[in-house]
Structure 1
Amino acid sequence: MGGQPPFALAGVAIIVVVSAIGLFASIGRYGFFGDELYFVSAGRRLAFGYADQGSALPAIARAMDMIAPGSLVAQRIPAVLLTLVALVISAQITRELGGSRTAQILVALAYAGSPFLLAQGIQLATNTIDTALWVLITWLVVRWVRTRQDVLLLLAGVVTAVDMQVKWLIPFFWIAVAIGALVFGPRDLLRRPALWAGGAIVVVTMIPTLVWQANRDWPQLRLSSAVAAEQASIGGRPMWVVTALICAGLMGGILLIYGIWLLLRWEVLRPYRFLGSVPLLLAVVFLATNGRGYYAAGVYAVIMAAGALGWTRKSSRIRIAITAVLVLASLVSTVTSLPLRPESDIAPARDDADAALNMTTYAKFGWRELAESVAEAYRSLPAEQRADAVIVADSYWQASALDVYGVENGLPAVYSPNRGFGYFGTPPDSATTVLWVGGSVDDVRPLFGAVTPIGRADAELGYPGVTRDVTIWRCDVPKTPWTLAWPGMLRM
């Protein structure tokens, strides 16, 4: 299908360097996000499977915690590096499609101007790693279309196998690709042995995880229902398209819409037309399942690349001016989304809605204070009761914070029935005294013979219901042995 245009090395390198400065200046700000604490806790219990994710992030968190114990910066470095790699690959995808240096730079700027695609790189999160791997997979697929080198499909299978250890979303991408290829071509993509060999690698590497899930009644599927319920509570399906476009950024959103149109209509991109249907099919799936608005963000790079080809094919002063304004506005939105403000300038959340809207900020505060408050309540117990006491936290974030900061505060074993933490272990039946952190008295009282509030965790900042105004209950005489009660208490 012809050669490639020269790579815009200098322009992309400048964008990467500036982006790296912004990300590295941000990753040490504030504290651990709730999920990051959970990954550290999960990493201390490495397994073939987890209730709510694969093994990749716990393994990353464990490795970084061993290299630099307790380091916030170390935990986030892998996310930063993968995000920067994805930015470079977005320009490479543009080049594969035949985009000029100008088009490549425009896509790199659009990627850097997305508050989601770039700014998410300051945090170790499943969506951060998942999005970057989707970008890599789409590059391999696009390059295969141009070169027909089947080893690229095999490599795409290997990357897919890795991604399945992060999230279980990538199969939807491949299903959408298969449908697009059947409708628009190239149909021989689906006949390539290398593609199916890559699929076999995915299946084989997933066997331990699937066995783990099957033995525990498929908690991953229950998580999908929990996510759908959460999405319904914050606007549901009507907000999905809005969120999806916000994730692309201003310039990126325009290139995204334009790119879908061009892929489906422009003859120059005819070999890649099947990719134009992918975001539309993913939108249908994630709207139907009430998924999160950023679930399809990994495919944005290739669609924006197609949009950039059309956007840069004609040059005029008006178009250049419009592009400059859009890019500048996008970059400003990314900068303002980074946690660059001093902690002292951040006001407490006004209410639950404010906290939920700014959760990525507020959920980084109050965890140490929570552990210190629980430790104070624990020390107030008589010595003979402390010997057999355990802690049960209402949420997996609370449990993870108490687990990570528990040793330095002298806390006993921590448990939680929430999300994946519920599968880390069951409180021993000998634990007749429990410090229950969070939740309401109506939730706790039916489980015990006596329930008494003995402390509160009133962090200055925090996410309501998670780290702020948390009641610490002393619970005595469990009505049912833990080994019998715990399976029925687990919730996603």
Structure 2
Amino acid sequence: MTDTTTTQVRQRDTPKEQPPFALAGVGAIAIVSAIALLASAGRYGFFGDELYFIAAGRRLAVSYADQGPVLPAIARLMDLIAPESMVAQRIPAMLVTVAAVLISAQIAREFGGSRNAQLLTATAYATSPFLLVQGTQLATNTIDTALWVLISWLLIRWVRTRHDSLLLWASLATAVDMQVKWLIPFFWIAIAIGVVSYGPRDLFRRPALWLGAGVVVLATLPSLIWQAAHDWPQLRLGAVVADEQATIGGRYSWLPLAIASAGLLGGVLLIYGIVALFRWEPLRQYRFLAPLPLLLAVAFIVTDGRPYYAAGCYAAIIAAGAVRWTEKTGRPRTIIAISMIVISVVLVAFSMPWQSDSAIKPAKSQADAGLSIGVYGRFGWPELAAATATAYQSLPEADRADTVIITDSYWQASALDVYGTNLPAVYSPSRGFGYFGTPPDSATTVLWIGDDQSEVAPLFASVTPIGRVDARLGFPGSTRDVTIWRCDHPRTPWSESWPNLRHL
């Protein structure tokens, strides 16, 4: 090896000096974000999925029909520490969201970003209507997004330092994320395409990368075995998501909603960051990130994924945009940045769930509820539990011994599992709850909670309405305009009919 070649290798493998971390400023942004999340965490009722995580956590398994075991395990732990506490359930979501704010600033620092670039990146993350507000509830996307941010930082840091231990840590984070939901493979495929196109191609020659990939496969194997034994429900769920997306515009609305979820400041820096990664020479070694959001957008549009599926990559791209923006100084840039920050702060402040009950208007439809009630609604779960208990107590005592409860949706079943007291066993053919158990064949009387008699009537010899749930701020079809039916004498034993009733 010549002296020139040796010098080039040493220069490549020698980490560049980083700017100081803007600890005070970024820390202040993180603290304000934490206060905002904590102040709003207990103001509104459990989101339906949060109740489902608690119910699933009481039935811990290596996998579920619609997700991995991480969220149920977290929910179970918090439920043991503080039973039925909304704030306790949401603390993990708040912690990982605030951590993502801090890591996003660290990504800007890895790019060589100054104090201002780090502050601008953290501010953009903390004023994103999606990235911050998702921290108000425990959800798969909350944990998934934060893990994407962590993995992005580890990978970007590896590019600068070439410390292969970072690849192992990224692999471990990926293994954990595979126990949340199966979106992270899209990230790595897009990264691989970017690396093939722009380098650094020596990434593929690092044993740590392939060792880490093996760790991911081994960690995911129990979940894969469970899924295969149950006919891959997590993959089949994609068709359900596609139908849900159709109610809000389908593929045509994907890109506008995806950009809007980043917020004003975040959206501008997101677009600016893509351009910077493609064209700005100081970010040349990170150019493999430039196609990342574009490839993810194509993948999730084609597969009818949700607009926020790609949000985990926003931090890295926003950081690149912030570094490029702050590289040049001048009064116009300062005025524009401050204006966007002020508007973004105002917008995110209005996105937080701080309204009083009286100020909230009931959702007009399930589509309307899906867009708004997750942040602003009370949902009416206690009302559902109370109405169900009343209906159950109205049954003759002799009939109660052979009575079970079946609900239309897994949200309803989860709510009764958490809020219900002195109720019989609860079942639902919906989503993951359908795999929790089958009603016993001895159950000759059923309290069926739903709004469509035509679906229930063919299953029984007799169907009679005996109760109703109609919470003002409830979710249509779940806790508003819902009937409780007494159903007697199933026409087919549950052991035979249940597999056909299950649906995602």
TM-score normalised by the chain length of structure 1? 0.98
For residue 290 of structure 1, give the secondary structure of its aligned residue in structure 2: coil
Give identity over the alignment, percent. 66
Name the aligned partner's letter for residue 188 of structure 1.
Answer: D
State the Cα distance separating 1:365 from its structure 2 match.
2.1
Aligned to 1:14: 28
State the Cα distance separating 1:226 from its structure 2 match.
0.5
Name the aligned partner's letter for residue 102 of structure 1.
Answer: N
For residue 166 of structure 1, give the secondary structure of its aligned residue in structure 2: coil
Say whether residues 1:41 and 2:55 are aligned partners. yes
Question: Would you say the 8 A contact 1:34–1:364 is kept in 2?
Answer: no
Query: Which residue of the other structure, out of 317, 332, 335, is the alignment partner of 1:321?
Result: 335
For residue 406 of structure 2, give the secondary structure of its aligned residue in structure 1: strand
Aligned to 1:426: 438
Aligned to 1:457: 469
State the Cα distance separating 1:363 from its structure 2 match.
5.1
Query: Which residue of the other structure, out of 169, 173, 176, is the alignment partner of 1:162?
Result: 176
Structure 2 CA distance for partners of 1:347 and 1:86, relative to 1, 3 Å: same
Question: Would you say the 8 A contact 1:429–1:481 is kept in 2?
Answer: yes
Question: Would you say the 8 A contact 2:353–2:376 is kept in 1?
Answer: no
Deviations, residues 201-257 of structure 1 (Å, cap 9, x unaligned): 111111111111111000001111110111122200011001111111100000000
Question: Would you say the 8 A contact 1:260–1:276 is kept in 2?
Answer: yes
Aligned to 1:415: 427
User: In structure 2, what is the Cα distance between the partners aligned to 1:416 and 1:342?
Assistant: 33
Aligned to 2:11: none
Between stretches 307-316 and 101-110, larger displacement belongs to: 307-316
State the Cα distance separating 1:352 from its structure 2 match.
4.3
User: In structure 2, what is the Cα distance between the partners aligned to 1:112 and 1:239?
Assistant: 24
Aligned to 1:279: 293
Structure 2 CA distance for partners of 1:362 and 1:372, relative to 1, 3 Å: farther
For residue 358 of structure 1, give the secondary structure of its aligned residue in structure 2: helix
Deviations, residues 372-421 of structure 1 (Å, cap 9, x unaligned): 001111111111111110000000101100111112xx111000000000
Aligned to 1:149: 163
User: In structure 2, what is the Cα distance between the partners aligned to 1:69 and 1:128?
Assistant: 21
Say whether residues 1:127 and 2:141 are aligned partners. yes
User: In structure 1, what is the Cα distance between the partners aligned to 2:409 and 2:439?
Assistant: 15
Name the aligned partner's letter for residue 72 of structure 1.
Answer: M
For residue 315 of structure 1, give the secondary structure of its aligned residue in structure 2: coil
Query: Which residue of the other structure, out of 234, 245, 249, is the alignment partner of 2:263?
Result: 249
Name the aligned partner's letter for residue 338 of structure 2.
Answer: A
Segments of structure 1 that go 5 or more residues without pairing to the other structure are none
Question: Would you say the 8 A contact 1:406–1:412 is kept in 2?
Answer: no
Deviations, residues 52-81 of structure 1 (Å, cap 9, x unaligned): 000000000000000011111100000000
User: In structure 2, what is the Cα distance between the partners aligned to 1:211 and 1:331?
Assistant: 46
Structure 2 CA distance for partners of 1:229 and 1:351, relative to 1, 3 Å: closer
5 Å-filtered alignment, 1:230-269, equals 230-269=244-283
Structure 2 CA distance for partners of 1:432 and 1:362, relative to 1, 3 Å: farther
For residue 459 of structure 1, give the secondary structure of its aligned residue in structure 2: coil
State the Cα distance separating 1:353 from its structure 2 match.
4.5
Question: Would you say the 8 A contact 2:248–2:367 is kept in 1?
Answer: no
Name the aligned partner's letter for residue 423 of structure 1.
Answer: Y
For residue 307 of structure 2, give the secondary structure of its aligned residue in structure 1: coil
Question: Would you say the 8 A contact 1:151–1:194 is kept in 2?
Answer: yes
Say whether residues 1:102 and 2:121 are aligned partners. no
Say whether residues 1:448 and 2:456 are aligned partners. no
State the Cα distance separating 1:351 from its structure 2 match.
4.3
Name the aligned partner's letter for residue 131 of structure 1.
Answer: T
Q: CA RMSD in A?
A: 1.0
Query: Which residue of the other structure, out of 221, 228, 235, is the alignment partner of 1:207?
Result: 221
5 Å-filtered alignment, 1:23-422, equals 23-361=37-375, 364-407=378-421, 410-422=422-434
User: In structure 1, what is the Cα distance between the partners aligned to 2:345 and 2:181?
Assistant: 28
Question: Would you say the 8 A contact 2:450–2:478 is kept in 1?
Answer: yes
Deviations, residues 100-139 of structure 1 (Å, cap 9, x unaligned): 0000000001001101101110100000000000000000
Say whether residues 1:491 and 2:479 are aligned partners. no
Structure 2 CA distance for partners of 1:60 and 1:353, relative to 1, 3 Å: closer
User: In structure 2, what is the Cα distance between the partners aligned to 1:114 and 1:169?
Assistant: 21
For residue 411 of structure 1, give the secondary structure of its aligned residue in structure 2: coil
Question: Would you say the 8 A contact 1:86–1:135 is kept in 2?
Answer: yes
User: In structure 2, what is the Cα distance between the partners aligned to 1:353 and 1:289?
Assistant: 20
Question: Would you say the 8 A contact 1:454–1:473 is kept in 2?
Answer: yes
Question: Would you say the 8 A contact 1:451–1:475 is kept in 2?
Answer: yes
Aligned to 2:3: none
For residue 359 of structure 1, give the secondary structure of its aligned residue in structure 2: helix
Aligned to 1:481: 493
Question: Would you say the 8 A contact 1:348–1:460 is kept in 2?
Answer: yes
User: In structure 1, what is the Cα distance between the partners aligned to 2:291 and 2:361?
Assistant: 44
Name the aligned partner's letter for residue 207 of structure 1.
Answer: L
User: In structure 1, what is the Cα distance between the partners aligned to 2:366 and 2:255?
Assistant: 24
Name the aligned partner's letter for residue 214 of structure 1.
Answer: A
Question: Would you say the 8 A contact 1:249–1:330 is kept in 2?
Answer: yes
State the Cα distance separating 1:309 from its structure 2 match.
1.2
Question: Would you say the 8 A contact 1:362–1:463 is kept in 2?
Answer: no
Say whether residues 1:468 and 2:472 are aligned partners. no
For residue 296 of structure 1, give the secondary structure of its aligned residue in structure 2: helix
User: In structure 1, what is the Cα distance between the partners aligned to 2:367 and 2:309?
Assistant: 23
User: In structure 2, what is the Cα distance between the partners aligned to 1:216 and 1:251?
Assistant: 44
Question: Would you say the 8 A contact 1:362–1:461 is kept in 2?
Answer: no
TM-score normalised by the chain length of structure 2? 0.96
Structure 2 CA distance for partners of 1:307 and 1:418, relative to 1, 3 Å: same
Number of aligned residue pairs: give it. 490
User: In structure 1, what is the Cα distance between the partners aligned to 2:203 and 2:378?
Assistant: 45
Question: Would you say the 8 A contact 1:394–1:417 is kept in 2?
Answer: yes
Question: Would you say the 8 A contact 1:246–1:253 is kept in 2?
Answer: yes
For residue 41 of structure 2, give the secondary structure of its aligned residue in structure 1: coil
User: In structure 1, what is the Cα distance between the partners aligned to 2:117 and 2:258?
Assistant: 23
Deviations, residues 248-272 of structure 1 (Å, cap 9, x unaligned): 1100000000101111111111100
Deviations, residues 308-337 of structure 1 (Å, cap 9, x unaligned): 111111111111111111011111111111
Question: Would you say the 8 A contact 2:145–2:312 is kept in 1?
Answer: yes
Question: Would you say the 8 A contact 2:451–2:481 is kept in 1?
Answer: no
Name the aligned partner's letter for residue 308 of structure 2.
Answer: Y
For residue 216 of structure 2, give the secondary structure of its aligned residue in structure 1: helix
User: In structure 2, what is the Cα distance between the partners aligned to 1:73 and 1:130?
Assistant: 20
